[in-house]
Structure 1
């Protein structure tokens, strides 16, 4: 997966920029008790970093967005106790992608055999926890 120091075709510096931009954007979404879409997050990444975003027509690029959200969760979960990626849903949809649930299972937050209802209950609790946490946190400048 890694070639010449890149991950998903991007350098560590690009990933650091993306993680910082995604974290700042998703934190602001959480503070206003909202949710966002993969499309809106992608647009924000481009605007905030000046770098090309992800091409969702490509499976590899969709996987790269999943990698980014995993890095964001890794970076923010120790403080919030929740998965910040819970706020990102499909355009026209009403829940996160399968990667969200796969990561939750990998982190031991969700049972491997969780039913659809259990997954939705878990996701709703994550969103509520994020809204509560970020409402109490001062924005970083």
Structure 2
């Protein structure tokens, strides 16, 4: 699993802490941004953050979100990465939709309207799943 200049131990820590943070956001029925997720990971783990000015670091954040989804999806059957948006946008990133297609949750040639409906459906389902602290990670 090591890659992007990080050890397996770092990826494991980032995955656990990132998932816990996203569950917190879901319980609050709020989204987050890549920037806020990165700042939270830095603060809670003490590990170096992601430099979004570099393609490889943006890819590394996408890899991390994939690991988080992989860990959470057996529990929820949802894509918890739906909670992460670009700063100042009202949509998920392209990696979210690519993963949904890869997992067979979204047709490959979906319209922008269908993609947004899927994303909103994932958000609402995550909020419902984690509402009022009903369930853990």
Structure 1 length normalisation: TM-score?
A: 0.93
Would you say 1:111 and 2:107 are equivalent positions?
A: yes
Residues 114-133 of structure 1: matches in 2 within 5 Å?
114-133=110-129
The match for 1:72 is 68
Would you say 1:100 and 2:108 are equivalent positions?
A: no
Gaps of 5+ in 1: none
CA distance in 2, matches of 1:9, 1:57: 16
Instruction: Return the match for 1:89 from 85, 88, 98.
Output: 85
The match for 1:41 is 37
Structure 2 length normalisation: TM-score?
A: 0.96
CA distance in 1, matches of 2:16, 2:134: 17
Displacement after TM superposition at 1:49 (Å): 0.5
Would you say 1:28 and 2:27 are equivalent positions?
A: no
- The count of corresponding residues between Structure 1 and Structure 2 is 136
- Is 2:129–2:135's contact at 8 Å kept on the other side of the alignment? no
The match for 1:54 is 50
4+ residue stretches of structure 1 with deviation over 4 A?
Answer: none
Displacement after TM superposition at 1:139 (Å): 4.9
CA distance in 2, matches of 1:77, 1:98: 19
